[in-house]
Amino acid sequence: MNAWERVEIARSPERKTSLDYIKAIFDDFMELHGDRNFKDDKAIVCGLANIGKQNYTVIAEQKGRTTKENIERNFGMPNPESYRKAIRFMDQAEKFKRPVITFIDTKGAYPGIGAEERGQGEAIASSMLKMAGLKVPIIAIVIGEGSSGGALALGIGNKVLMLENAIYSILSPEGYASILWKDSSRAQEAAEKMKLTAKDLYELKVIDKIIKEPKGDKEESFEKVAKDLKKEITNITKELQSMSIEEMVEERYQKFRNMGEYIPLVKEQ
């Protein structure tokens, strides 16, 4: 498949959401609410989960399927209070030494006037800063559409996993085409240039592993992907917990600090 076909799959309303994966991967999940400042924004779900005796803090961007669900979830576009809620539970995870798992699936942070008035940019930056120095393991998983700062805000992990048909980029193909060529209709062309597929990003060392999505029956494919993710989460957690806190935080810092060495500058023809 070409890049645009991957974009269409990642955006499909039939694609499994974060809550679907949380239910399939973890033995138990209890959702927690609110940023203790403004309100509980439902575009990001936070809570406590476990696999066996290992406890986790889960932070997940959540889209809806129906119109009603999408309105409730703000079409998966977080407001600043979502990121502040996430930061609250990152702090809690550090206090109780729980690894953090993030699920990334958003077309971007909400760009409304109210979100800007409440400090959208600052909230995104604060989330990234918090993750950079968090003293517990972090595993970030891109499961669908990972676009713009809304996705990057939850992407600072020791390990970044990505489903085979997901996408991950600093903005949407339509936004790229609008900025570069003043023509959003060239989105398909933009998708090819943006290097937003799992294969592209693995080669650029932006992500650490691609989780294959088998063809065929959708439910069987989903069950296989969820099983593989559960295995990866368990193994990576053990690997990171074998390191000292200082080593783990430094590894995460260097991972992103040195990323520019692997990403070539793209010259527009």
Q: 131-152 burial string, b = 16+ CB within 10 Å, else e?
A: beebebbbbbbbbbbbbbbbbb
Q: Residue 257: its pLDDT value, please?
A: 86
Which residues make Cβ contacts (< 8 Å) with residue 114, sequence separation at least 6?
Answer: 79
Q: How far apart are CA 263 and CA 253, in angstroms?
A: 17
Residue 264, pLDDT above cutoff 60: no
Tell me the per-residue pLDDT of 67-125, one tens digit each, with 9 for 90 and over. 999 999 999 999 999 999 999 999 999 999 999 999 999 999 999 999 999 999 999 99
Q: What is the mean pLDDT of the chain?
A: 94
CATH 3.90.226.10 assigned to 3-261: yes
Confidence of residue 215 (pLDDT cuts 50, 70, 90): confident
With beta carbons less than 8 A apart as the criterion, state whether 208 and 159 touch.
yes
* Closest by Cα among 248, 223, 263, 265 to 21: 223
88 burial level (CB within 10 Å; 0-12, 13-18, 19+) = middle
Strands (E), 98-153: 100-106, 138-147
CA count, 13 A, side-chain hemisphere, 152: 16
Q: Residue 260: its pLDDT value, please?
A: 60
Residue 265, pLDDT above cutoff 80: no
Residue 267, pLDDT above cutoff 50: no
Q: What are phi and psi of 105, to 5 degrees?
A: -165, 85
Sign of CA dihedral 179, 193, 202, 228: positive
Q: How far apart are CA 120 and CA 109, in angstroms?
A: 8
Domain assignments of the chain as residue spans, ordered by start: 3-261
Residue 201, pLDDT above cutoff 70: yes
Residue 236, pLDDT above cutoff 50: yes
What torsion do the CA atoms of 155, 157, 161, 162 make, to the nearest 10 degrees?
Answer: 10
Tell me the per-residue pLDDT of 144-196, one tens digit each, with 9 for 90 and over. 999 999 999 999 999 999 999 999 999 999 999 999 999 999 999 999 999 99
With beta carbons less than 8 A apart as the criterion, state whether 150 and 106 touch.
yes
Cα 127 versus chain centre, distance? 12
